[in-house]
Amino acid sequence: MERAPIQEPPARAVPRVEMRGISKRFPGVRALDDVSLTVHAGEVHMLVGQNGAGKSTLIKVLCGAVHPDSGEFRIDGRPVRIESAADARRLGVAVIFQEFSLVPHLDIAQNIFLGREPGSRFPGVVDRRRMHAQARALLDALGMDLDTRLPAAELGVAQQQMVEIAKALSQNARILVMDEPTAALSDHEIDRLFARIRKLKQDGIAVIYISHRLREVFTIGDRVTVLRDGRHAATLESARTDMAGLVRLMVGREVRTHRRRFGESAGDIVLEVRDLEAENGVHGIGLHVRAGEIVGVAGLVGSGRTELARAIFGADRVLGGEVRLGGQRLPGGPAEAVARGMGLVPEDRKESGLALTRSVGDNLLVAALPRIFPNRWYRFGTAARIVADLIARLQVATPSPGRLAKFLSGGNQQKVVVGKWLGAGVHFYVFDEPTRGIDVAAKAEMFGLMETLVGDGAAVLMISSELPEVVALCDRAYVMRDRTIVGELDRRDLTEENILKLAMHHE
């Protein structure tokens, strides 16, 4: 295989961090495959890639939360072992995750020094004056004008972010990892954050910066490493690449599916959404799905895809706009949506899709009960017949209908969730991340099942972070960013590159 290009900056000292040949396998996926990363002191190293490219796993390896199967670390040229979060901290690695690690009802100073409070003459008693003075100094160094006595619960997202940075710096971090630090910040706040980061550079701190906003590669990054499918795709100097070049490096994963024939039988509009706005933050949503179509909703993590599904299904409160199913306006609420023939196959099937401790048969029937037993009396014979029929149609691999759902494989569980709607006479399906956590063979079966559904005249809205799957399977796709739809791609234009161009921030 051709080696991925690595551009080293000219003549520098020993790198601050070197990760070499890192591999990590999780059941069913190769999360990292021989990935290397080198970051110098005073460098801002950007890490980019699609969802699932391996960015988060790489960071978790660096901070000791995940143990790699193979690979080695060097810090300042010396080989080191990182077995735990404590090891990483001792070596000067600090990570600011997207989910903040602040304690809501402790104040800023207490949060910064949690577990490392400055002591006083009395054992265990904290010298609060000294703690607040030190916190004050840290905030001042970051240019933050905030009272150190404010509880974290009263801080805005940007302020929390800065407190996290202060916390990391207070640990004398020499390697600072930021996971999408600007995701929730306003432009003004981003400017201030970047000013801080430039200051950190001057102080010789090595910064690893994960971003979905490609523009940031050029505004703040010195070099950029692109990961694709768990592999190292390239490391480039920011100044010597451009947006298009990065996007090209990010795409190109193979997906195994029997290519369907598109655009054959698009029928009447089944679902139509106009100006939808919901309490969960999605807004300005307009889309439609025709009978016989699989329509994709693509976007990066946090772009609002799942929220869109929940709003359409009526699971989250709708504030404005309308959802029409088969021409009739839905009043809202999942019960009404199901009664009118809409079925949601949720992202977290174990939480929201299945009753894990009930049998396959019970799960298959749960949504269909009002339809099969209109007079409210349960007849075991009828139920058994319908369950047997569904199991055969979906080819669910289960020894018996009485098997508990939790003992099935991921792919078979997913079939049961679909089967639940099949029996209920659903003709519009929302699939949220239908291939998450199932193996390759099950994925192919899942795709086959979706094709059968639309072949029988149903309509499918498929929400997915797997761009290759959207491209391979969908007739059309909508792209989301910042909780709204930013574009629609028809079959001809439906490529990973085009989706990424819309999904990423690069105005």
For binding to another protein (CB under 8 A), which residues are involved?
85-86, 89, 101-106, 110, 114-117, 119, 124-126, 128, 145-147, 149-150, 153
Tokens representing residue 165 in the block? 């940075």
Q: Which CB contacts under 8 angstroms, 24+ apart, belong to 374-382?
A: none
Name 431's bridge partners: 345, 462
Q: Is the CB of 126 or the CB of 486 nearer to another protein?
A: 126
Distance CA 304, CA 18 (A): 35
Please state the closest distance from residue 311 (CB atom) to another protein, in A: 23
Distance CA 54, CA 231 (A): 8
Please state the closest distance from residue 187 (CB atom) to another protein, in A: 19
Please state the closest distance from residue 239 (CB atom) to another protein, in A: 36
Distance CA 416, CA 437 (A): 15
Q: What is the DSSP string of 80-124?
A: E---SHHHHHHTTEEEE-SS----TTSBHHHHHTTT-PPB-SSTT
Q: Is the CB of 160 or the CB of 398 nearer to another protein?
A: 160
Q: Which CB contacts under 8 angstroms, 24+ apart, belong to 1-4?
A: 4/231, 4/232, 4/233, 4/234, 4/235
Please state the closest distance from residue 204 (CB atom) to another protein, in A: 25
Q: Is the CB of 141 or the CB of 388 nearer to another protein?
A: 141
Please state the closest distance from residue 170 (CB atom) to another protein, in A: 11
Which amino acid, residue 345? V
Residue 47 neighbours by CB under 8 Å, 6+ apart: 37, 55, 58, 59, 208, 209, 210, 211, 224, 225, 227
Q: Is the CB of 101 or the CB of 452 nearer to another protein?
A: 101
Distance CA 225, CA 55 (A): 10
Please state the closest distance from residue 163 (CB atom) to another protein, in A: 12
Q: Are 235 and 225 in contact (CB under 8 A)?
A: yes
Please state the closest distance from residue 110 (CB atom) to another protein, in A: 5
Q: Are 488 and 499 in contact (CB under 8 A)?
A: no
Q: Is the CB of 95 or the CB of 330 nearer to another protein?
A: 95
Q: Is the CB of 189 or the CB of 229 nearer to another protein?
A: 189
Please state the closest distance from residue 168 (CB atom) to another protein, in A: 11
The beta-strand segments (E) located in 307-385 are 318-325, 328-329, 342-345
Q: Is the CB of 108 or the CB of 309 nearer to another protein?
A: 108
